[in-house]
Amino acid sequence: MMILEADRLSITFGGVRAIDGVSIAIESGQVFSIIGPNGSGKTTLFNLVSGIYTPNDGSIRFAGETVTGLEPDQLARRGLSRTFQNLQIFSRMSVLENVMVGYHRHECTGIVADLLHWPSVARQNEATREVALAALARVGLADEAKRPAGSLAYGALKRLEIARALASEPKLLLLDEPAAGCNPVETQEVDRVIRSVVKDGITIVLVEHDMRLVMNISDRVHVLARGRTLAEGTPEQVRSNTAVIEAYLGDHGSKEAVRAFD
């Protein structure tokens, strides 16, 4: 089943075509990676798919429904979740509370109940706490639950965002450079988390620069350059594509890509 289909998306910012006629089709349960040099439009594409930008041209279908132009919160309620390249952590709240917010779309108490703290609210708080703790355990942060989110290390914060997105129980998870700024150990952790998430049937769309991670974990890879599709295929197909090697992987990148398969 195609969970996400984008058809000839385009968007222009002040005269610059950031994304120009890009089409992608993602099957449910896959790990789909988007790679490309800096400025190729990867995050813009993410922002288009997650509703933060509205495309000037083209359409997006999510789980069979047309969702072009919908707001991010509307998409979230349909089961689409994402993390951010420049972390958007709720730094004033604790680690646990951050993830609890992730579960918000499933919480069902109203404002009056919340103000009066009906028993249903206490029950909901408990239930949400359970979900959040489980999500934290999956990313290996269960011990940090009570700490203020702002006090965590960078790599841990990346995993926190993933836990938060997981708590929303999405069908599709967009990960925006989850390994950026992470050392090899942290990157291994991210790899492990992604694999375990995929086992649960959640589709993952990944934007990444770390070639080993991408080649190791992806089912399909889509290469962007200057806002346009350069190539798409399996990791093997992409890494041996001469156009891709020229534009993006270069000498070092190709070597990294090959090493991923050792």
Partner 1 sequence: MAELLQFISSGLTVGAIYALVALGFTLIYKASDIINFAQGEFVMLGGMTTVFVTLAGVPAPLAALIAIMVTTAIGLALHRFAIEPARGASPVALIMITIGASIFLRGLAQIVFDRRFHSLPPLFGADPIQFGGAAILPQSLVVLASATAIVTLLWLFIDRTLLGKAVLATAANRLAARLIGIDTRRIVDFSFAVSAAIGAIAGILITPIALTSYDVGTILALKGFAAAMLGGIGSALGAVVGGLLIGMIEAFAAGYFSSNYKDAVAFLIILVVLVFIPQGLFGRAKVERV
Partner 2 sequence: MRALLETRLMPAIVVAAIVILLPLFFPSAYYYRIAVLVFIFALAVVGLNLLMGFAGQVSLGHAGFLGIGAYSVAIGPAQFGVPSWLCLFAGAILSGAVAFLVGRPILRLKGHYLAVATLGLGLLVAIVLTNEARWTGGPDGMSVPRLVLFDWSVRGAAAWYWIAGTTFVGGFVLALNLMDSPTGRALQAIHDSEIAALVLGIDVARKKLTIFIISAMYASVAGSYLALFNGYITPDAAGFLRSIELVAMVVLGGMGSIVGSLVGAVVLVVLPQALTVFHEYEQALLGLIVMVFMIFLRRGIVPSIVAAFAGRRK
**Whole-number Å distance between alpha carbons of 132 and 139:** 11
CB of 16 or CB of 243, closer to partner 1: 16
Helix then strand count (H, E) for the chain reads 11, 10
Strand order across the beta sheet in which 80-82 lies: 80-82, 172-176, 203-207, 31-35, 220-225, 228-233
Q: In angstroms, rounded to a whole number, what is the distance separating the alpha carbons of residues 13 and 22?
A: 16
What is the x/- site pattern for partner 2, positions 34-73, by CB under 8 A? ----------------x-x------------------xxx
Q: How far is the CB of 180 from partner 2 (least distance, A)?
A: 17
CA-based angle 194:229:17, to the nearest 5?
Answer: 110
Query: Residue 51 or residue 235: which is nearer to partner 2 going by CB?
Result: 51
Burial 96-110 (b: 16+ CB within 10 A, else e): bbbbbbbbebeeeee
Q: CB of 69: closest distance to partner 1 in angstroms?
A: 17
**Is 87 among the residues that bind partner 1 (CB under 8 A)?**
no
- Residue of 1, 14, 38, 65 that binds partner 1 (CB under 8 A): 14
Closer of 113 and 258 to partner 2 (Cβ): 113
Q: Establish if 15 lies at the interface with partner 1 (CB under 8 A).
A: no
CA distance 107 to 105: 6
Contacts of 233 (CB under 8 A, 6+ apart): 220, 221, 241
Contact 171, 63 (CB under 8 A): yes
- x-marked contacts with partner 2 along 101-140 as a string, rule CB under 8 A: xx-xx-x-x-x-xxxxx---xx-xx--x------------
Max Cα-Cα span within the chain: 64
| Residue 156 contacts which entry, partner 1, partner 2, none (Cβ below 5-8 A, type-dependent) | none
Nearest distance from C-beta of residue 197 to partner 1, angstroms: 23
Angle (nearest 5°) at CA 37 between 34 and 39? 95
Question: In the window 156-175, what residues touch partner 2 (CB under 8 A)?
Answer: 164-165, 168
Residue among 13, 114, 117, 130 that touches partner 1 (CB under 8 A)? 13
Residue 100 binding: pick among partner 2, partner 1, none (C-beta 5-8 Å cut-off by kind): partner 2
Q: Pick from partner 2, partner 1, none: which does 73 bind, CB < 5 to 8 A by kind? A: partner 2
Q: Could you tell me the end-to-end alpha-carbon distance of the chain, in angstroms, rounded to an integer?
A: 31
**Residues binding partner 2 (CB under 8 A):** 50, 52, 71-73, 76-77, 81-82, 84, 88-93, 97, 100-102, 104-105, 107, 109, 111, 113-117, 121-122, 124-125, 128, 164-165, 168
